[in-house]
Amino acid sequence: MRSLLFIPADAPKKLEKGLTSGADALIVDLEDSIAPDRKKEARESAASFLQEATAKADRPRILVRVNGIETGLTDADLDAVVPGKPDAIMLPKAVGGPSVIHLDAKLTAREAIVGLPDGAITIVALATETAAAMFVAGSYAGSSARLTGLTWGAEDLSAELGAEANRDKDGNFLDPYRLARTLCLAGAAAADVQAIDTVYVDFRNMDGLRRECEEARRDGFTGKLAIHPGQVPVINEVFTPTPAAIAKARAVVAAFAAAPGVGVVGIDGVMFDRPHFARAQALLARAKAAGLG
């Protein structure tokens, strides 16, 4: 998933438009974008949308961001949306692997009730969105076979820290949030799941968005959250491997295939080792997922 677009669950027209936004995934949001007195209506709207949207053959992946486990609202959220067969649940304010294990158990019970295969619904966790989560970012590895991605959030973290800002005057993240970003990236690598960068809130600033996407891709993230449909084309473009990158990756894979058992190969005077081989394979997998063969 290159682009994951947040849409409030109580906005049916926006949800319907989201299906044709070009986003790889829609995140039907039951958490931060929903006022406390609108939770029930939002669940009903999400359930109705899922029943229709998940039956479509040509559609983006559909995730539902439920309310965090500590709120006491997660069970009601899952009861409403699991019958609609979402592709994944996004778990906010996760505190390491134990939070994922807890959600896994809740999903297992509900899948059995509605007749879904065990593990049909995967999990994407907001891994470093709270202060406590920062200390356990390495505990996601092995927590659940359902876990497919980790992302992070600067807005809730800055509120919890009592910060005046999370970015500097040039729009760059300040040190506490760069640490959260790094821990998310490392946690995803340790768990062997996708690392997804956080939202860029200045949604009219496409140059800033592009710069942040390129920095995220450079560092190892393979997708980014979006808060506006207008951000989707830029995110998709940046996180889609270029023809030149694909050609280089194919050359590396072919060189290792031609010399099985070696640890290093040379291509045009440049040496490539096994980490380069693994990186090339991962890039080609992303290219295939993007429909580039």
The model's pLDDT over 200-238, given as tens digits with 9 standing for 90+, comes to 999 999 999 999 999 999 999 999 999 999 999 999 999
Structure confidence by residue, pLDDT tens digits, 245-283? 899 999 999 999 988 888 899 888 888 998 888 889 988
Helices 39-53 and 74-81 pack at an angle, to 10 degrees, of: 30
Q: pTM of the predicted model, to two decimals?
A: 0.91
Q: Which fold has domain 3-239?
A: TIM Barrel (3.20.20)
**Stretch 50-75: mean pLDDT:** 96
**Stretch 17-30: mean pLDDT:** 97
Residue with tokens 């559909």: 62
Mean pLDDT, the chain, whole residue set: 95
How far is residue 59's CA from residue 53's CA, in Å, rounded to a whole number? 8
pLDDT at 260: 85
pLDDT at 269: 86
How far is residue 92's CA from residue 29's CA, in Å, rounded to a whole number? 10
Structure confidence by residue, pLDDT tens digits, 145-176? 999 999 999 999 999 999 999 999 999 999 99
Helix, strand, or coil here: 91? strand
- The answer on pLDDT for 293 being more than 80 is no
How far is residue 216's CA from residue 163's CA, in Å, rounded to a whole number? 23
Q: What percent of the chain has pLDDT over 70?
A: 100
How far is residue 65's CA from residue 61's CA, in Å, rounded to a whole number? 13
Domain ranges of the chain: 3-239, 243-289
Residue type, 63: L
pLDDT at 69: 97
pLDDT at 105: 98
- The answer on pLDDT for 43 being more than 90 is yes
pLDDT at 282: 87
As a whole number of angstroms, the longest Cα–Cα distance in the chain is 64
Paired tokens of 261: 């058992």
pLDDT at 206: 97
How far is residue 28's CA from residue 65's CA, in Å, rounded to a whole number? 6
